[in-house]
Amino acid sequence: MFESAEIGHKIDKGTYKKAVPELRAALLDAQFDLKENGKIPVIVLVSGQDGAGKGETINILYEWMDPRFISTLAFSAPSDEERSRPFMWRYWRALPPKGRVGIFAGSWYSSPIHDRIDGGMTKAAMDARIDQINRFEAMLVNEGALVLKFWFHLTKEGQKRRLKALEKDPKTAWRVTKWNWDRLKTYDKLQDVVGHVLRMTNTPWAPWIILEGEDDRYRSLTTGKILLEAIRQRLGSAGKLTTPVAPPIRVNIDGRNLLSELDLTKKLNEDDYDEQLARWQGRLSELVRDPRFKNRSLVCAFEGADAAGKGGAIRRIAASMDARDYQVIPIAAPTEEERAQPYMWRFWRHIPRNGRVAIFDRTWYGRVLVERVEGFCSEADWLRAYSEINDFEHELSESGAIICKFWLQVSQEEQLKRFKEREKIEFKRFKITEEDWRNREKWDAYQSAICDMVDRTSTGTAPWTLVEANDKGYARVKILRTICERLEAELEGKPLPRSKPEKPAGGKDARKSKKAKKAKAVVEPVVQKPQPKPAAVKAPALKPAPKPAVRRVAKPAAARTPPRPVAPRKARPAARPAAKKKG
């Protein structure tokens, strides 16, 4: 893999000076065309060994191109804020918008390589991270990005010569430290790790470009020419490069699906609703203040039919938390800034840090629902989105986020009733639009899209909860209970709770019955039940027996009940004196 970068490539000074002016002019023209096109972001990763000229090459590109449309980002050890979020969070936030060039000095490859060399990451963990990176880069290319990955290579002797030359020159001596010389000792180990990483990530959509880094002129001129040709070819190609996808095939022979099997008649009466709402809100308040939650975060994703009650459910969740600990993110049509980035970018920017809660009112599932049904994106885009969403949620879960996803389902009749009510109530009229009425005509298409969404994205770490929402009170309590049960299971390290069959609501009578049973349970273990009182008869002449000891409990009446029946006292007048005499 490194053979071509170890043959001593060099460019003489005259050739270099002659080639640079023409290359600079061509790069500026290509950069202008890229900006005018406005559909392609260019992502340049500059990596390599110490002393291989990474910084010099980036400075040269800034000199040759218009710096107004280039952004350079250097990544070192993650900050506290970055460590409290998923590994890829800081790279997502740094992606350049369409029409611009982003140069990454150090990238998503730096951390796994260094961790593997230092022994902080196993080979299996590194391979898992490599797989994650490959999917991330595939997503970038599918979104229209041009990804160029440069690795500047030096032989072990070449690295020694480079470090000595830099250290000897007073202008560059500051760039060589003891750390660089110490790193030279791990050269062979670095080569093994880098060779493995480059092989595993040398994909057709984002291949590595390995250049010899010992000669400055060769390295800079070659990098500039490769960048120019890549931009020209990308501008000349029609459309985005996409990976092949297989369309979903759904056949419902018996006409049944996930949504048709929901029991939308489930409801709670007012007394049960008030009692259970207070109970679960109080429990949620305790859980988000639990010390164990400081190292976790909660992401609640709400989707549902129009007028299904998402806003009301969100308000009941928010009411049980401190306003400083949560954020509600309403998702609407993307802004100009968001359209200039990959689809998932606008959701990555709202990921909560540890100890916080993010509640999404509409979510990243818009691509496989609204955009699919309304034709706002191509079929390839929404088909590919299922795997991209699963990757996104997997990364959140791996970083400690607890994901609760809810689909609120109402019947067409209940939706129509709520639409008409909204039109009558002045402060709710803003909630109903012409688009809502038009969406009712595509009810069946949306139902099919919802079933595909649940089938393809309900995973072990981020399962869907389907909520019967014809009764708003029932839906709110089920959502709160689900969140609490999920938080309890995660914080205690238990398996995720499975959905349980609903208990029928019993109102006040049921609560009284429960109290009676509870009181009964307190008495029965201590005192036996008295037998039926026998009819009064004359007692036979028997010797008086000692009065049995009676164990006293909280209820006096129950405590005086003898453990077994005895003859009536009025038939045995001699019993009392005999007992006293014995005492």
Domain boundaries, the chain: 3-236, 270-493
Closest to 225 measured CA to CA, from 400, 35, 9, 16: 16
Question: Greatest CA span in the chain, whole angstroms?
Answer: 138
Residues 6+ apart with CB under 8 A from 476: 273, 277, 309, 312, 313, 316
Instruction: Confirm or reject CATH 3.40.605.10 for domain 3-236, answering yes or no.
Output: no
* Proportion of the chain above pLDDT 70, given as a percent: 83
* Calpha distance 20→25 (Å, rounded): 9
Closest to 488 measured CA to CA, from 303, 337, 284: 284
In DSSP terms, 300 is beta-bridged to: 359, 404
- The secondary structure of 520-551, three-state, reads HHHHCCCCCCCCCCCCCCCCCCCCCCCCCCCC
Side by side, the strands of the sheet bearing 326-330 are: 326-330, 357-361, 297-304, 401-409, 464-468
Q: Which two tokens stand for residue 25?
A: 């002019």
Same fold, 3-236 and 270-493: yes
CATH class, 270-493 region: alpha beta
How far, rounded to the nearest angstrom, does the alpha carbon of residue 258 sit from its chain's CA centroid? 24
Q: Which of 13-17, 216-220, 438-442 has the lowest mean pLDDT?
A: 438-442
How confident is the model over 550-561, as pLDDT tens digits?
Answer: 444 444 444 444
More confident residue, 528 or 179: 179
If you average pLDDT over every residue of the chain, what do you get?
Answer: 85
How confident is the model over 116-165, as pLDDT tens digits?
Answer: 998 889 999 999 999 999 999 999 999 999 999 999 998 888 888 888 88
How confident is the model over 242-299, as pLDDT tens digits?
Answer: 666 776 677 777 878 899 999 999 999 999 999 999 999 999 999 999 999 999 999 9
| Residue 112 to residues 167, 220, 316, Cα–Cα distance (Å) | 29, 27, 42
pLDDT band for 499, please (50, 70, 90 cuts). low
Three-class SS state of 576:
helix
| Residue 47 to residues 82, 147, 151, 154, 556, Cα–Cα distance (Å) | 21, 14, 5, 12, 85
Single-letter amino acid code for the residue at 227: L
Query: Quick one: CA dihedral 209, 210, 213, 219, positive or negative?
Result: negative
* Calpha distance 261→359 (Å, rounded): 27
pLDDT reading at 365 higher than 90: yes
Mean pLDDT of 367-385: 93
pLDDT reading at 199 higher than 70: yes
| Residue 78 to residues 83, 84, 87, 108, Cα–Cα distance (Å) | 6, 10, 9, 11
pLDDT for 550 equals 44
Taking the model in full, what pTM does it have?
Answer: 0.79
Q: Which two tokens stand for residue 140?
A: 């970038």
HSE at residue 291, side-chain half, CA atoms within 13 A, is 0
Pair 208, 2: CB distance under 8 Å: no
Q: Which two tokens stand for residue 128?
A: 């898992």
Burial (CB count within 10 angstroms: exposed 0-12, middle 13-18, buried 19+), residue 338:
middle
pLDDT reading at 565 higher than 70: no
pLDDT band for 52, please (50, 70, 90 cuts). confident
